[in-house]
Amino acid sequence: MIDLDDLRARPEAYEAAAKNKRLKVSVSGFLKLDTLRKELIAHVEEMRAKKNSVSKRVPDMKGKEKEDALSEMKELGKTLKEREEELARAEDQWKTMQLELPTIPHERVPIGKDETGNKEVKRWGDIPKFAFEPKDHVALGESLDIIDIPRGVKLAGARSYFLKGDGARLHRAVLQLALDHLGAKGWIHFTPPYMASWECLMGTGFFPGAEEQTYAVGTQEHRGERIAPDDLYLIGTSEVSVCSYHKDEVLKEVDLPLRYAGYSPCFRREAGTYGKDTRGLYRIHQFDKVEQVVLCRADEDEALKMFEEIRTNAEEVLQALELPYRVLDICTGDMGKGKVFMQDIETYMPSRKAYGETHSCSYLGDFQSRRLNIKYEDASGKRKFVHTLNNTCIASPRILIPLLEIYQNKDGSVRVPKALQKYMDGKKMIEK
């Protein structure tokens, strides 16, 4: 949700934000509904007051005066019920439309209709050159017996896989590297719930909008009897659980910023991606991720400093792994309704002969905290909504794509990056 007072004060800025973010929401339509709701509230309150006034006088009335008053009350009651029903419908629509309203992008955000409008702002590392024909991660994984996609598909359908032996160990190693990197800086580790309620997914901005991508824990059958739905959803990122940790709480300003590192499996249906990135581990239904979540004061300058910090954390992990990458400023049409500023990190993947997205860093202002009702009390005793940020520190097995492909040898073996060797009992090579 956004600040409605700000929306009413400068609707044109929100109209532009909706247009540039390619959102099908009418700011002017919402404001008309907002006005109608206010008018209905005033009208209903006026009618209630009038009905109560007449009701109080009736006991002292007699004869025709009393009959007329009772008749008036009956008509008032009928009209009041109609207006209350009209107000309830307007209220529901008013609340629903609020969930679709966008934040205003930061002035640095490039305006663009889709990913083609994203702007590269940084590169690190050298693109690898091979003296032999390199294999992709699937061929490497199969020949080394560390990735088994056919058996994963046999068990769980398309976009499923097994990591096996040193593949599983490499997967855990990169995740532990990220956790240790953040832990050394004082970040608080979280193992959060892997399921969350509709309120949490709405609160973090995924609902409405991402229902098709989310696995619902629905109605089940036990011994022939139907069990009611749990109204829970498998999380697509620990951002959902960790950001919701302080839902409906008032924090202390002295405790901010809060730096949280959520580690969890993540589940995504990948609806609408039929035929896209079908080979290998790039676009899959289940993966593990270390997610950075920050809650800070309602200060944009402070929040943007935190943004640099969390993006840098991810870059430092990639640099420790010696993987070449680039940073992109994400344009308006590719960033989503709640984002104020967003950058992606793309790591070079030889099999794609291009950079592929591995990290996403977002600043959302008070968009999430308003929906989750997370506030803090400042030194003057005033309560304000916190600002929130999040960023991937590492996600696997997607990061295994560049790891295996860049560190491969001519004979099909794969070198273990120095940064990961201590997590693999000193192992330096993965080979047959």
Q: Which residues are annotated as catalytic?
A: 268, 283, 357, 360, 398
The radius of gyration of the chain from alpha carbons, rounded to an integer in Å, stands at 27
Task: Evaluate whether 179 touches 262 at the Cβ level (below 8 Å).
Answer: no
* CA atoms within 13 A of residue 41's CA, in its CB half-sphere: 9
Q: How many CB atoms lie within 10 A of CB 413?
A: 15
Strand partners for 264: 289
Pairing state of beta strands 387-396 and 286-296? antiparallel
Q: How many CB atoms lie within 10 A of CB 315?
A: 17
Torsion of CA 40, 46, 47, 48, to 10 degrees: 110
Task: Evaluate whether 391 touches 292 at the Cβ level (below 8 Å).
Answer: yes
Distance between CA atoms of residues 67 and 72, nearest Å:
9
Distance between CA atoms of residues 411 and 432, nearest Å:
10
Cα–Cα nearest to 117, from 364, 373, 331: 331
Which 8-state DSSP code applies to residue 248? T
Distance between CA atoms of residues 99 and 103, nearest Å:
11
Distance between CA atoms of residues 98 and 3, nearest Å:
10
> Which structure tokens are listed for 230?
């749990």
End-to-end CA, the chain: 54
> Which structure tokens are listed for 51?
């009905």
Distance between CA atoms of residues 240 and 393, nearest Å:
16
Q: How many CB atoms lie within 10 A of CB 150?
A: 11
